[in-house]
Structures are given as C-alpha cells and as structure tokens.
Structure 1
C-alpha cells in the first residue's frame, strides 16, 4: 500500500460478528491472493482445512465416495475476516466497525468510494436505474446452517419424503465445525410444514431427516431477534454498469453466483485485485473504472452462467435422482454444463470421458453467447 493513500473501511456490523459459517473456495482464490498479497494468502492457507473427496448418500441406498479432481478448502468466515482486517490495519488502513454508509455523499471528500455492501447494497439501490440492476429470485428454498459434525469430505445427502426430495451439502471449515446448506423445492417445503415452523422446530425436523449424515450432531441456526426460521430464496444480482462517477461496485453488490458453486469469495477478491491493478496503471479514474468493469464483467458473466446451470440442476433434481448413485454423482459434478439440461441424463453420462472434449466445446460456446 502506498503510504500517501488514506484508506478507510466502514463495516456496518460489530467487530467479531458475521453472518454465515464457513467459506469454501478453490485454488483460484489462492492464485488471486498470492498475486495481490502473498502475506494474506500464506496465513489463510495455514488456517484452512482441505478435502479431496466427495461423499454422497441418496436416501436409503449405500453411500458413495469418489475422489475429486480439484482440492477444496474451507475456513471460518470470522477467521477469514479477522485475517484480512489485521492485515489491512498492519498496512495502515483504518477500519471502522458499526458504521454503515447509506449515501456516498457522506464521503464527499473521498476520491473513490468502493461499495462492497453485499447483495442488498444500499449504495447500489440508490442508483439502481444507472447501474441497470437486475435481480432474479430463485425458486427453491434454502437455509444456511452450521453443525458440530466435522465432515471428512464434501458431503451431499438426498432424502426422499412424501412431499418430494430435500437435500443438504456440507463442508468442514474448522477442526470443530462444518457448514450445512439445506435446500428443497417450495412444494416440499410447504408439504413438510417448514413454512409454518419456527427455527427450533425446523432444526429438529432437519436433524431427524439427515440423522444418518449428521451422526447425531446438532444443526446450528443463525442468531436473530425472533425465533422465525431463516429460509431464503437465492437472489442472482447482475448490473449493466459497475460504476457511477467515483462510486464503484465490488463483490455481491455487483454480482452474485448461486452458492452451489462456491465462487462468491474468490470473485470478490478477484474484483479487488483487478480494481487495484487498474488504478495503478496511471490512467484517470474514469478510464480505470471502465477497464475494471470490462475485465470483471467478462469473468463474472461466465461464473454466473455456470451458477445458473448448477442451480437448474438442483431445481430439476427428479431428472437425475433415479440414476444409480455413482452416475448421479458424476452428473452432479457436471452440473455447470450448458449441455446437460438439454440431453437425456443417461445419454450424457454414456458419452463418457472420451467425449469430454466435445462437451467442453459445447459448454465453452454456450458461455460465450
């Protein structure tokens, strides 16, 4: 960091508090971090936990374990924030907690205002017309939970109920805890009565449904003021423009990708690294922000398409769930494909790895449209 720069980070939450449990990411995040700040990357790498296998349980069928072709990482969200906060302060950045900025006019003396205030960004919504903000609300219901069950692999569990399928996926993020995301269709959600239950009753029902996967461990909900269950529909945010005058969007304020691909943190850090690079290229501010917008929109466009395909796979789960678990799990690994939704699952699987080059070509061409 240039010592002549005066940088302040305003965080609306108190220090030491965060929403969520663990962050999952892939090696791409390390690559971005090492390029931007090797010191942060080193510390995060030391504190991360890793896995290289998938484990799946489909109702009462024997579980399946397969090796994964890319090592995955997990770290507690609070741990990650603490590392980044400490690193920022060590470089001379001022960090102010419990300070929400709702109008960029509050920072009228700033050369640049970076809005990283999340999917519901207040700063973005003030100028939604300029940014061309579009929000696509997903159909399925999901709940983001923690658990004391420490998963040895990235774990999937699919349970059939009289009202349809409900499933969870979990990953370890510390020696003592894992994240567990539960998802189902609206029909299953209402059929099970989850639309009427409070959080305690919802967790009790989910613990019973996923008892084999949790091995008797508890699910942990989010702390909030009332006892309502925190079920959500995922919102995919996209923007035609990413900056206005000296206000620029970053991370979930600019774009979101469905949680099933685990790309949000890597994309946000990639945004930050790209923004720094363009600002250091010596151009005037508007030229730099325009370059940042073009470069990152191209990257996130592909990720959002892959995420939509992944979300569609889960929304169409009955299409795949009758396959033998090993085949179903293979197609689960292909859920980012733009082709899979248009080819009968057994035929797609039968194309085999000899046809993978053709599949990749179709997927690449679809992403570029």
Structure 2
C-alpha cells in the first residue's frame, strides 16, 4: 500500500532510507528535506568496513557499487608514538569523502523518484504524512521540539577534539601520539580520496588549556597542531571547516525513538564515540532496519516498535565498544609507555570491557594466550556482550 513519507535530513541515513523505500514500492510518495544547500557538508571523510559494504550490496547493488567505486581502501594500521613507529596488518577498511557519498546517494534517490528539497528545514511534523522520519542529526529540530516525549538525554565527554582535513593522503589508518610539556595530544587519520584525509585531533582538558588551544584563534590553532604533528603530516597542511572549533563528544540517548508518526534515525536517535569509526555505518544500518520493518508490518505502530526493538538490541555491542574506546583514550597514560607494539595491540583491544580492570602488561599476555587457546577466545566472546547488557541495564535503572 503506498504511503507518504517525509524525511528531515539529507544525510546518509535519510537518503538511504528513501532509496530502500522506493525500491520496495515505487508508488511510495517520499520527500527528503535538507536544511543545508545541496553540495555542502560538515565533514571530511567517512570510514567503513567490509561488513557494511556487504550489507549495502544485499540491499541496493547499484548504490553499493557506486560507493565502493568512489572509496579508497587500506589494510594496515600505523601508530607513531614519540619517535617510534609500529605497523600492523589488519582488516580491510574503506574511506570515502562525505561530500561524494552524499552526492552518490542523492543521485540514486532522484533516479528512483525521491523528491529532494534543499535549504528546507522541518521543525514540526508536517500534516498529511503517514510517516515522518527525523534523520536530521544530533541537533535534530524535530526531536528537540518534542524532547520530553522522546526522553532525550545528552552527556558530554571529558576530552576535547576537533575534526580536521589534511592534504596528506595516509596509506593506512594512522595514529599519532605526541608528548608535550602539558600532556599527550593525539590524532587519528585516514584517507578518503587521492587528494586528502580526515584527521581528528584529541587531548585532555589539561593539555587543551596548557597548550593554549582554548585561547588560540583558528589560524593559530592550526599552526600549533601542524608543528606538533609535523612528522606524520610530512609537510602537508591541516584544514579546518570555518567555525568548526573544538568540541567535547556528546553521547545522546532517547528513552523512546518514536512519538506518534515520528521516528528517529541515526544520530537523532543515538550517538557513538567517533573513535570506533562507526557513526555512518550505524546510521545506514538503522535505515536498512526501518525499511525492513515497514516492509514487513502493515501496521505503522507495529513496524516502528519492531524497528526500535531490533536496533536497540543490535546497538548494544557497538555502544559498549564506543564507551570503552572513549575511556581508553581518556586514560591514555595507563598505556602509552608500554613498548610500541604492545601499546598498539592494546589500542586494538580498547573496546574490551576487561581491559580497564586488568594491568595492561598482564592483559597483553592474556590476549596473546587467548589467540592460541580456544577456551580463552570463547571466554572473551562470552564476556563482551554480557558486559554490554549489564551496563545497559544499570543505565536504565539509573534513569528509572
């Protein structure tokens, strides 16, 4: 049965949901409203992994092929700690420019008959729509207008970070840790095209103020960061989006993802710390799940309930990983003086719920043993999801 769907937000989640719904039924009436002009974007590059690409291919082969064709890939991770460097071979990763990703998804949506309205912001659910999708990000105007109904909570993290671009094209997922008189500052970078890379810089509040980054203007801050990361940048520039500045990460949760005929999607519903590189992937998976629920359940209320129930369950593992990843960086001095190959190994294990409670050297030895003993591998797999569910239960109890 044809339905009228209005989507607030022309990011990856909103565009991909429109694509999937049009593929389900070309007679659906779907309009996507985006508050920014077409071709503008706030980010640099998006990173994702082979598992997401496989899922994209299952849901819409045309857009998957376009995204893969516009992506760069890597298999290695590199860590620079002071004057030492270590490189590990790992899983295949991909990077694509955010602007290019949005362009590809918008072209595919238009080809299927989706209406795209740019410089058009929805602050209230429009009348006459069967379904209104709030895919307008962490600052969602639709969600904010009904924050009590959704039960929105936002918790700010401790560390400061800034999202930059660079003309240096990294050939691996690159970490750089620099020791300063005011504490450690670090960056993670990955290529997204043959012309540039994303470079996220992070530090503790003490380092932020000690280096004077709280008082520096944009130009002064970039000059200082370019000096600190001169070795890894290899003479290339850092580039800031005007007005981006420094932030603290905001973890957003909602007691409910639906209110009437309005449903939350992507960062409007939940955020996960940037250090696990999963934000866009999780938003696209939200779109897959919502489209699947709408295609399976004739009743809208049942479809939205099924979508929320399934995605909340699926997100537990990623949200747990994100919390522990953020904590790893907040406690960087605990790990940074290990031999570089050991520090890098524990960097790769930063999602573990056990790592904060086990001495790093001991954990490293146990992890090596777990790689050789099946019983320990099974124990780690068993503990991870249970720790995530326990944390989720405790969080719910505190809210209650």
- Normalised by the length of structure 1, the TM-score is 0.96
- Equivalent residue, structure 1, for 2:246: 231
Which of the residues 123, 137, 151 maps onto 1:118? 137
1:159 to 170, 178, 192: 178
2:119 to 98, 120, 127: 98
Match of 2:49 among 13, 20, 26: 26
Q: What secondary structure, in the 3-state scheme, does the structure 2 residue paired with 1:138 have? A: strand
Q: Distance in 1 between matches of 2:62 and 2:260?
A: 32
How much does 1:304 deviate? 1.1
CA distance in 2, matches of 1:313, 1:255: 21
User: Quick check: 1:72 aligned with 2:87?
Assistant: no
Distance between the aligned counterparts of 1:357 and 1:215, measured in 2? 43
Instruction: Kindly indicate whether residue 28 of structure 2 is the aligned counterpart of residue 5 of structure 1.
Output: yes
Q: CA deviation at 1:135?
A: 1.0
Mean Cα deviation higher: 355-364 or 215-224: 355-364
Provide the C-alpha distance between the structure 2 equivalents of 1:11 and 1:32, rounded to a whole number of angstroms.
Answer: 25
Unmatched tracts of structure 2, length 5 or more = 1-21, 391-400
1:14 is aligned to: 37
Q: Provide the residue aligned with 1:217 in structure 2.
A: 236
Let me know the Cα RMSD of the aligned residues: 1.0
Contact between 1:32 and 1:269, CA under 8 Å: does it hold in 2?
no
Equivalent residues, number: 361
Partner of residue 183 from structure 1, selected from 190, 202, 207: 202
1:278 has 2:293 as partner: yes
**Distance between the aligned counterparts of 1:150 and 1:12, measured in 2?**
31
TM-score normalized by structure 2?
Answer: 0.89
Task: Render the CA deviation track for 1:288-320: whole Å, top value 9, x for unaligned.
Answer: 000000001111222111100000000000000
What is the match of residue 40 of structure 1?
Answer: 63
Match of 2:320 in 1: 305
CA contact 2:37–2:118 (8 Å) conserved in 1: yes
Q: Which residue among 274, 277, 288 is the counterpart of 1:259?
A: 274
Correspondence for 2:260: 245
5+ residue gaps, structure 1: none
CA distance in structure 2 between the partners assigned to 1:298 and 1:129 by the alignment = 23
* Aligned pair partner of 2:212 in 186, 190, 193: 193
What residue is the counterpart of 2:332 in the other structure? 317
- Tell me how far 1:28 sits from its aligned partner: 2.4
How far apart in 2 are the matches of 1:157 and 1:282?
A: 48
Q: Where does residue 359 of structure 2 map in the other structure?
A: 344
Give the Å deviation of 1:282.
3.7
How far is 1:360 from its partner?
2.7
Q: CA deviation at 1:361?
A: 2.3
How far off is 1:38 after superposition? 1.2
Q: In structure 1, the residue corresponding to 2:158 is in which secondary structure?
A: coil
Residue from 66, 78, 98 that aligns with 1:55: 78
1:357: Cα distance to partner? 3.3
